[in-house]
Amino acid sequence: MNRRIFSLSVLLIGLCLWCYEASIRADEHVRGGHVNVYPVEGVINPVIVEFVADSIEQSTDESAAAVVFQLDTPGGLVSSTRLIVKSLLNADVPVIVYVSPSGARAASAGTFITMAGHVAAMAPGTNIGAAHPVSGEGKDIEGDMRKKAENDLAAFARSIADKRGRNADWAEEAVRESVSITETDALEQKVIDIVAEDVPDLLAQIDGRNVSVAGDEVTLNTARAEVRYRQMTWRQQVLAVVTHPQIALMLLSIGSLGLLIELYNPGLIFPGVIGAISVLLAFYSLQTLPVNYAGLALIGLSFILFILESQIPSFGMLTVGG
End-to-end Cα distance, the chain? 87
Q: Alpha-carbon distance 65 to 218, whole Å?
A: 10
Concerning whether 148 is annotated as a catalytic residue, the answer is yes
Q: Alpha-carbon distance 165 to 127, whole Å?
A: 20
Whether the CA torsion 22, 24, 30, 32 is positive or negative: it is positive
Q: Of 305, 255, 246, 315, which is closest to residue 280 (Cα–Cα)?
A: 255
* Radius of gyration, alpha carbons of the chain: 26
Concerning whether 108 is annotated as a catalytic residue, the answer is yes
Catalytically annotated residue among 7, 148, 212, 253 = 148
Catalytically annotated residue among 108, 180, 278, 314 = 108
Question: What are the b/e assignments for 128-143, b being 16+ CB within 10 Å?
Answer: bbbbbbeeeeeeebee
Residues 120 and 166: beta-carbon distance below 8 Å: yes
Active site residues: 108, 148
